[in-house]
């Protein structure tokens, strides 16, 4: 599985991870709901299970992805400052360019 974290998101995520006391936790990206080939995503700090893959990114942050969820393959985690500040998770490889 492939995934990407942008530079903006990595900066914000590293701030969160540095403050976390439990260093075994990793960032999980998951599908909150899906309809057809479109999905909405969420994220949380978690511990991987046997149903997960831990994927290393080029930003040095590992992501937990559920093995059998094809809509997670190619996911991109970004952090935007405009129009609202916050994380945006999309999967351009599946035709998903953000929430609607």
Give the global pTM.
0.88
- Topology classification of domain 3-94: Hypothetical Protein Aq_1857; Chain: A; (2.60.300)
What local confidence, expressed as pLDDT, does residue 97 receive?
56
- Tens of each residue's pLDDT in the chain, 100 residues: 999 999 999 999 999 999 999 989 999 999 999 887 788 999 999 999 999 999 999 999 999 999 999 999 999 999 999 888 999 999 988 776 555 4
Q: How many residues does the chain have?
A: 100
Q: Token pair 């935007």 is at which residue? A: 80
User: What residue ranges do the domains of the chain occupy?
Assistant: 3-94
Residue 89 burial (CB < 10 Å; 0-12/13-18/19+)?
buried
Q: CA 50, 56, 61: angle at the middle one, nearest 5?
A: 110
Residues 6+ apart with CB under 8 A from 93: 2, 73, 74
| Cβ proximity of 29 and 77 under 8 Å | yes
12, 42, 47, 67, 79 from 85: Cα distances, Å: 11, 16, 27, 30, 7
What H or E segment, with its residue span, contains residue 18? helix 7-19
């Amino acid at each position: 599985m492939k995934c990407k974290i942008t530079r903006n998101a990595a900066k914000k995520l590293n701030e969160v991870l540095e403050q976390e006391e439990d260093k075994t936790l990793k960032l999980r990206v998951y599908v909150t709901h899906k309809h057809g080939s479109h999905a909405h995503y969420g994220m949380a700090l978690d511990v991987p299970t046997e149903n997960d893959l831990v994927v290393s990114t080029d930003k040095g942050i590992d992501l937990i992805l559920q093995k059998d969820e094809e809509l997670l393959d190619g996911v991109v985690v970004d952090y935007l400052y405009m129009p609202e500040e916050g994380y945006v998770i999309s999967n351009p490889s599946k035709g998903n360019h953000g929430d609607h």
